[in-house]
């Protein structure tokens, strides 16, 4: 069902005033984790001013270490929703438990399925049973074929509102946290009719190359870019090293816009 052979026209997903997959690329921005109302309000104000309409923020955080901040859970979803409503933004956040999917629809405009859960098939089935758009991340070591099969799990249950996002894969290269597979963008666009986005933060894991990677993604045909922004990255409870502060975010945006690709 996700194959371009089955459906020639691009799937277009509507989120309020914006559409994803219609040819006009979008930016999803926000902190790695939802931490407080203050943090979310400060971020929302900057996004709003910059013309960004979709805010991210993790409430259920899949962390490598069980001793690291695990997220605020449902409380975090509440904060995200409340602040987004205040500023007129759409929301996106990761859900990790199939039993939370239905509940998540009350809080989120887009449900994210994270890289570590790309092949959590019960989670994919639950995501297929609702009608809230899904942002599916590529697994850490998933082939594009496996990625598309995971999307098929969701679409085959009736939820056609699926966006794919490349977020870097494991390779031997240590200069970046993961290796951004730019070729995934045109290949996924050729193979599938679903919107394709690129997460520049988690793929690179370094702030100094976010703008060129975002431009490369858009030049390759991506329908959008995800980037992490935090009021004070040094004190962030997750991904402190790679989130942009507000000034850096504005420079990033200006740089990407100057390319004419956004």
Q: Which residues bind Mn ion (CB under 5 A)?
A: 32, 239
In the complex with ligand PEP, the residue whose CB is nearer, 120 or 161, is 120
Closest distance to Mn ion from the beta carbon of 239 (Å): 4
Give the C-alpha separation, 69 to 11, whole Å: 36
In the complex with ligand PEP, the residue whose CB is nearer, 167 or 215, is 167
84 binds, among Mn ion, ligand PEP, none (CB under 5 to 8 A by kind): none
**Cα-flanking dihedrals φ and ψ of residue 29, to 5°?**
-140, 160
137 binds, among Mn ion, ligand PEP, none (CB under 5 to 8 A by kind): ligand PEP
Give the C-alpha separation, 76 to 104, whole Å: 11
167 binds, among Mn ion, ligand PEP, none (CB under 5 to 8 A by kind): ligand PEP
Give the C-alpha separation, 155 to 85, whole Å: 29
151 binds, among ligand PEP, Mn ion, none (CB under 5 to 8 A by kind): none
Instruction: Give the residues lining the site for ligand PEP (CB under 6 A).
Output: 32, 58, 62, 94, 114-116, 137, 167, 199, 202
Label residues 154-193 b or e (16+ Cβ within 10 Å = b): bbeeebbbbbbbbbbbeeeeeeebbbbbbebbebbbebbb
Give the C-alpha separation, 155 to 193, whole Å: 12
78 binds, among Mn ion, ligand PEP, none (CB under 5 to 8 A by kind): none
In the complex with Mn ion, the residue whose CB is nearer, 66 or 260, is 66
Q: Dump the DSSP string for 128-145.
A: HTS-S-EEEEPPTT--HH
**Side-chain half-sphere CA neighbours of 11 within 13 A:** 26
Closest distance to Mn ion from the beta carbon of 58 (Å): 7
In the complex with Mn ion, the residue whose CB is nearer, 126 or 244, is 244
Closest distance to ligand PEP from the beta carbon of 50 (Å): 20
Looking at residue 209, what DSSP letter applies? G
In the complex with Mn ion, the residue whose CB is nearer, 91 or 192, is 91
Closest distance to ligand PEP from the beta carbon of 134 (Å): 13
**Residue nearest ligand PEP by beta-carbon distance:** 114
Give the C-alpha separation, 162 to 102, whole Å: 16
């Amino acid at each position: 069902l996700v194959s371009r052979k089955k459906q020639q026209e691009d799937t277009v997903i509507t989120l309020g005033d914006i559409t994803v997959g219609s040819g006009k690329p979008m930016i999803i921005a926000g902190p790695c984790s939802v931490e407080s109302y203050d943090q979310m309000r400060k971020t929302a104000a900057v996004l709003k001013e910059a013309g960004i309409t979709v805010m991210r923020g993790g409430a259920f955080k899949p962390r490598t270490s069980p001793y690291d901040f695990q997220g605020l859970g449902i409380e975090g979803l509440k904060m995200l929703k409340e602040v987004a409503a205040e500023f007129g933004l759409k929301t996106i956040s990761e859900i990790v438990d199939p039993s939370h999917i239905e509940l998540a629809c009350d809080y989120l405009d887009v449900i994210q399925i994270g890289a570590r859960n790309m092949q959590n098939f019960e989670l994919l089935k639950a995501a297929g049973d609702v009608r809230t758009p899904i942002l599916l991340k590529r697994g850490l070591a998933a082939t594009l074929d496996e990625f598309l099969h995971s999307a098929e799990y969701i679409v085959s249950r009736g939820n056609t509102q699926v966006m794919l996002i490349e977020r870097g894969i494991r390779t031997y290269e240590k200069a970046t946290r993961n290796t951004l597979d730019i070729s995934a963008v045109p290949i996924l666009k050729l193979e599938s009719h679903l919107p394709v986005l690129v997460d520049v933060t988690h793929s690179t894991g370094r702030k100094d190359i976010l703008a060129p990677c975002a431009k490369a993604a858009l030049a390759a045909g991506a329908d959008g870019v995800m980037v992490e922004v935090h009021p004070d990255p040094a004190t962030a409870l997750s991904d402190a090293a790679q989130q942009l502060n507000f000034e850096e975010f504005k420079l990033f945006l200006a740089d990407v816009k100057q390319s004419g690709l956004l």
